[in-house]
Structure 1
């Protein structure tokens, strides 16, 4: 490794499927090392992961960065939004985390929306109408279906909060990731007492929400956990949710939307105005600074396309020009449109339909709703 021109900083992306790490020379912007380690996602209709795997994946990805990681001056964690992490009094997960694309909490979502006064009330208070992806609905599901696990929880965290706390020993989060829980009010920029009461969640279980730019702490030894591989004393930023981090990294300014095709498909833009969409199509998130991040998201994107490619025995790039086939790839229900109980639908087959046309239809179906939502995100 050549001598850096500035301090080395570490960026962490803990996503649904893997943890990725970049070590960057802050003086030049050059990437000097990188690492990646996979996660396990279990279940068919359910989507769960062991948070301890995220920690081990972070340690493994940092180890792949070699001596560069040991010279880091600062680190920040971005994580998949909405996941419900429940910890006992020793900071050990009570059960596997419920991931954002686990939609078993649809009945609890319906109840919570009604009990607060309907979609309009949610949009005005929280900034979003909760979907089964949101953390508040997952907590309600856990209380109803696994009350012993809920009772054992001494702390409730988001995925990025969990990793930040493992690094620092401090329970903190940021306004961006907190805005995707359903229990943080965008109107008050604080936890919403009424929603917490409806969800039967003690606010003492939640992390402190830090201001934009406020440091979470420094890397230290956390009892019961193996060292991260970063030097003690490394500055730890608050971090944020993955979409907020992407908007920050891209330097987004109002009026310039992003369409992102990953495990989920998202379309979002930075806005100076607080979003309040009562239809629920646009989620009114906060960004990682002091603005807002109106966002629409689909559950079924690359995972659905990859599944169709697997069924066809084709490479994911082996498409043919589109024919008459239409494929709605709602393999895990859907978030946009709000059809959590939906299944996939294939229509328009002909004798001449090729496997490549079917795969192209899967791509088309995955992006169609995002393109429809684009105008609403920009309004």
Structure 2
């Protein structure tokens, strides 16, 4: 039976799976790489390689019969590569503080046409090519040896095959790639502005294409069969979307973790450039992501209101909010949850957080409800800006376990059916699936999920609070409401 390996190079760990010809996961493994971020704003590919080696070893004999490898990576991360396709220095992460200097130096020098072609709001996170002047001025040795200015996926593909490429899902966050019209490739004006040698840019290939074959050196080092095909791969969120069967017109999905990420797939680019936007895994698809710092906001709210720190405090706060009576919920305060800078579509350059309408009569349960409602009502706002109306049920992924409170409150506030997905290896599964589809026509089965539906009596209360919250949010932030898509 044919099997396919999926390698997910995440921010903190590598996850790997083996998927059989029916799309079922028959082995999985995880190996952390805590040393990868030991230098602020930089990342060590050697630590990545070590965790990949560990994860594949943990898969054991299941790897031996594999006939293909799919890959995905966290994004955006720039990596300088030498002539042999090896990292010749530390990678550069998007939130490197020094990149802010280069953003201020270069971003406004782009023409309206060049900026529009990126399909994104001008931001440090969507202008990863700023790592090029950073390397030139702050890591001269790596810059001198660099022959390919790649990203994390370029590095991983070269590690396995010796070939270099970059897929559009990663290139879309470079700031030098034409996301609106990907057939045009690199935006020459911005390439020239940053003084990038066009010959140092990797060729653009779609995620589902075959990059090359596992080299004998990679096979010996990583324990993979030599000569089997490796797909170009994608960023991690697009890989997860592939595992969920995301296409234009299908249900969106919502990732709930430290950040809350709402994902939607469109058949044409969103020219508003408010949410984070990237090309999809296949030609003719675009993925837009609405991001909030929802998990951080919940943790901050739990800490400052006395529920406690770490996960236990958040869990206690959510349980208290869930158990409140409808009568008390109606008069609960509102939490404006922007405890740190926000990315698209909110684009707050500074924190803006406060608790509104709290009085001496406000109970502990009402405070809890106000915190949780504030986070989820902003999620509702962002959802409306990224997902067309009438899209139906929503996939939701997160570490919910047996907890029924938080998903139920989310369903009530969104007034939508939620299909909860407990699978935590979605990107790795999607990566394996992309390779399998190209090599053997593999079709991944529908991901198992459990349905949570809104409670009508709570929907009415939340709709009233939604109207009041939007007025409070506009007054507190000084911003107009997000336009709906």
Q: Which stretch of the first structure deviates more once superposed, 93-102 or 61-70?
A: 93-102
User: Over aligned residue pairs, what C-alpha RMSD do you find?
Assistant: 3.2
Q: Which has the higher contact order (CA 8 A, sep 6+)?
A: 2
Rounded to whole Å, the distance in 1 between the matches of 2:300 and 2:135 is: 29
Shift of 1:372: 2.2
Which residue of the partner structure matches residue 219 of structure 1?
214
CA distance in 1, matches of 2:380, 2:237: 17
Cα contact 1:166–1:222 (8 A) shared by 2: no
Aligned residue in 2 for 1:128: 120
Q: Which residue of 2 aligns with 1:317?
A: 315
Write the mapping of 1:174-189 to structure 2, written as runs, cut at 5 A: 174-186=167-179, 187-189=181-183
What is the match of residue 462 of structure 2?
A: none
Q: Secondary structure, in 3 states, of the residue corresponding to 1:185?
A: coil
CA distance, structure 2, for counterparts of residue 161 and residue 364 of structure 1: 41
Q: Is structure 2 residue 236 aligned with structure 1 residue 237? A: no
Give 1:22's match in structure 2, choosing from 1, 14, 17.
17
Distance 2:238 2:216 in 1: 28
**Mapping of 1:69-148 within 5 angstroms?**
69-102=63-96, 104-118=98-112, 121-123=114-116, 125-134=117-126, 135-143=128-136, 145-146=138-139
Q: CA deviation at 1:196?
A: 0.9
* Cα offset, 1:175, TM superposition: 2.1
Q: In the TM superposition, what whole-angstrom CA distance separates every residue of 1:169-188 from its partner, at most 9, and x where no partner exists? A: 10012222222222111325
Of 181, 201, 208, which residue of structure 1 is paired with 2:203? 208
Which piece of structure 1 moves more, 157-166 or 369-378?
A: 369-378
Q: Distance in 2 between matches of 1:95 and 1:303?
A: 32
| TM-score relative to the length of structure 2 | 0.66
Q: Is the 8 A contact 1:327 1:358 kept in 2?
A: no
Q: Counterparts of 2:25 and 2:18 in 1: how far apart (Å)?
A: 6
Q: Please, which of 152, 165, 175 is the counterpart of residue 172 of structure 1? A: 165
| Conserved 8 A contact 2:268-2:285 | yes
Contact 2:43–2:90 (Cα < 8 Å) also in 1: yes
How far apart, CA to CA, are the structure 2 residues paired with 1:102 and 1:353? 42
- Structure 2 CA distance for partners of 1:168 and 1:121, relative to 1, 3 Å: closer
Q: CA deviation at 1:374?
A: 2.6
Quick check: 1:176–1:288 contact (8 Å CA) kept in 2?
yes
- Residue 384 of structure 2 corresponds to 375
Asked if the contact 1:176/1:285 (under 8 Å) is kept, the reply is: yes
Question: How far 1:259 moved relative to its partner?
Answer: 1.8
State the shift of 1:284 in Å. 3.1
Are the counterparts in 1 of residues 168 and 182 from structure 2 also a CA contact under 8 Å? no
- Which residue in the other structure is 1:3 paired with? none
Determine the C-alpha separation between the residues in 2 that align with 1:308 and 1:69.
45
SS of residue paired to 2:166: strand
The structural deviation recorded for 1:298 is 2.8
Contact 2:297-2:337 within 8 A present in 1 as well: no
1:202 to 1:360, Cα distance in 2 relative to 1, 3 A: farther
Query: Alpha-carbon deviation of 1:74?
Result: 0.9
Structure 2 residue runs of 5 or longer lacking an equivalent are 322-328, 389-484
Are 1:159 and 2:126 matched, yes or no?
no
Give the count of matched residue pairs. Answer: 364
Contact 2:114 2:189 in 1 (8 A): no
Distance in 2 between the 1:270 and 1:75 partners?
A: 25
1:32 aligns with 2:31: no
1:11 aligned to 2:1?
no
Change (3 A) 1:173 1:111: same
Distance 1:272 1:139, change over 3 A: same
Q: Residues 309 and 359 of structure 1 are in contact (CA less than 8 Å); yes or no, is this contact kept in structure 2?
A: no
Q: Secondary structure at the match of 2:6?
A: strand
| TM-score computed with the length of structure 1 as normaliser | 0.83
Describe the SS at the equivalent of 1:276: coil
Mean Cα deviation higher: 169-178 or 128-137: 128-137
Contact 1:37–1:58 (CA under 8 A) maintained in structure 2: yes
Structure 2 distance, partners of 1:221, 1:307, is: 50
- C-alpha distance in 1 between matches for 2:110 and 2:102: 12
Question: For residues 54 and 212 of structure 1, do their structure 2 counterparts lie closer, same or farther at Cα, with a shift above 3 Å needed?
Answer: closer
TM superposition shift of 1:80: 1.1
The residue aligned with 2:285 is 292
Give the SS at the match of 1:180. coil
Query: How far 1:25 moved relative to its partner?
Result: 0.9
Residues of 2 paired with 1:235 and 1:24: CA distance? Answer: 15
Residue in 2 aligned with 1:53?
A: 47
Structure with greater Cα Rg: 2
